[in-house]
Amino acid sequence: MNIDLNNPPQGQTYNLALERIESDDDRRVRLFKEVALFCCGLVATMVVLGLALAVTVSEQASPDDRKWAMALPSAAFGAILGYLLKR
């Protein structure tokens, strides 16, 4: 059976993909970058959440400061869930 790519059957599409074979060295570099980026993001998130917690429990913080400090963990958890669920 021959397929004429100039005249495909009705309702059919063709896709062609060329993928590069990843070497072990390239894989190690890619994984290192991904882990390093994840760790930097995790540290930054923990710093922001720590500051928000410090403001929340501080006796010297005003009610307005506590409001934004309570909003930060909500946003952080939403971002983490979005990253994990990919939606």
pLDDT digits (tens, 9 = 90+) for 67-80: 888 888 888 888 88
Domain coverage including residue 74: 24-85
Domain total in the chain: 1
pTM over 0.75: no
pLDDT digits (tens, 9 = 90+) for 2-59: 777 777 778 887 788 888 899 999 999 999 999 999 999 889 888 988 998 898 888 8
State the pLDDT at residue 32.
Answer: 97
Does 74 reside within a domain? Answer: yes
Does 8 reside within a domain? Answer: no
Q: Read off the pLDDT band of 87 (50, 70, 90).
A: low
> Which CA distances in Å does 21 have to 16, 18, 29, 33, 35?
16, 10, 15, 19, 21
Q: What is the DSSP string of 56-78?
A: HH-TT--HHHHHHHHHHHHHHHH
